[in-house]
Structure 1
Amino acid sequence: MFKLTSLNLNGIRSAASKGVLEWLDQSRPDCICVQEIKAQAADIADKFESIGELKGHFHFAQKKGYSGVGVYTRHEPSDVVIGYGSGEFDAEGRYVETRFDTPGRKLSIISAYFPSGSSGDLRQQAKFRFLAEFHMQLMKLKAERDFILCGDVNIAHQQIDLKNWRSNQKNSGFLPEEREWMTKLLHTTDPTGGLVDVYRQLQPTATDNCYTWWSNRGQAYANNVGWRLDYHLATPALAALAKTEEIYKSQKFSDHAPITVGYDFKL
């Protein structure tokens, strides 16, 4: 069983101070995709380059203390792709792809961090540009190889994916255009779709148990007023191998919870 975790750290140094390294030592994933590391290469060096037996591969944002993604893996990749060729968004540190290719297989594990539009219209428009651009990237990739994308997508797809869906229909993360983007991406017969929401494949009706993010305002975490923003998105062949899922909420390393899926394959 290949154990794959995704977690938005909301700062790797902050998460480390709250016990995430000890949790990883106990949970022992084969690979963890992290987002919002909020660090530069110099901050990672000699401290977070590896976590236990997992070696890290990173895409840092040019802006200090902002964004950044990584993949920590127990297995050595055959190749690592930093960024997806975006003139606008690669500077923000949003994409790292680790490839584990063999003569008979092309397989990637990707950590991605989608923009949030919650700070205002300018960033929401940037998010829409990212979605349009990134959809093309995912379709190109799907035509060439199997992959699992783990990340903070910053979109709750369905009403069951957030607690207060009625009052959030005009808010970033649950806008009709964002939800339509996800629907298209996950469409089973449309050639411009075809990816699988792995958690929903395993837990098609989960509501309160599915949330992975809680606002720091009020008592959102204590009252489980959450959103499902963190995903495993996979090509069908790999999604079919998903057997187990767990969202770990018992200890708060971040404003997000880790989501782990067990896949019936080996790298």
Structure 2
Amino acid sequence: MDDNQRLTHGLEQLADEAEPRPVDVPSVIGKAKAQQKNRRAVLGVGGATAVVLAGALFTTVQVSETLPVVPGVRPTSSTQGTQPQPPNRQQVLPIVDARSQKLDSQLVAAKAQLIPAEFTAGDNPANPIQHPLRFSGSPGPKGEVNYTAQALLTNAQGTATFQIWVLKNQPGTELGHYYGQHFGPCAQGESNCVRRTLPDGTVAAARPDSRPPGLTLSSVMSAQRPDGTYIQVVTNVGERTSPKPLAIPPFDAEQLFKFATAFTW
């Protein structure tokens, strides 16, 4: 017998002597059931997570669709309950940047033409402003930054709150649209409205001394400039808005239209 034959014979003997390893069927079945149970548990956790996320998304969508969009205020929602939490305004710090400083300069340059000499502009003890007639930015609903300047207007007869918003829409946006939503006066055919297209192409709408039912008396103007600059001016008078509120809000239509071209983004 040569070497190859001896090697083959030895391997055959080893194969014959080797006992087959018994299969523990109950153990295999038990392990399979345990693995299946684990997979179900994982799927159950994943399903529960998906339900929680879906519920959170539904709550967020509900809140975002029901809250009105106000320039400079980001809608808030809560994913920990069914009721939305009130916004924590202390966490939103005003933005002072090159844009706000540019708008400040434009306001200073036009102030004598915009605010009648009978009025002084200052802080409002009923709702402190900190920096009257100074622009600062705040996050808008689409991640943009909107700029606001406020003051309390005072003359011999009383006071009125005063606010200017300067926003940026896409050039060519129709007046009264703010990121797809109607915003501003005269958007729905209200009475006492004056609409005007100015020589530079700015489209403006003013509603002086508006008296909406159940709301504070106000004078409002909004303007959409050709470059996309959106301007809105609001003066309010009413109980608790300021000390000794005026009987009629300041600014007639002609005075309001002066704001329509005072600012450029």
Question: TM-score over 0.5 for the alignment?
Answer: no
Q: Greater share of helix residues, 1 or 2?
A: 2
Larger radius of gyration: 2
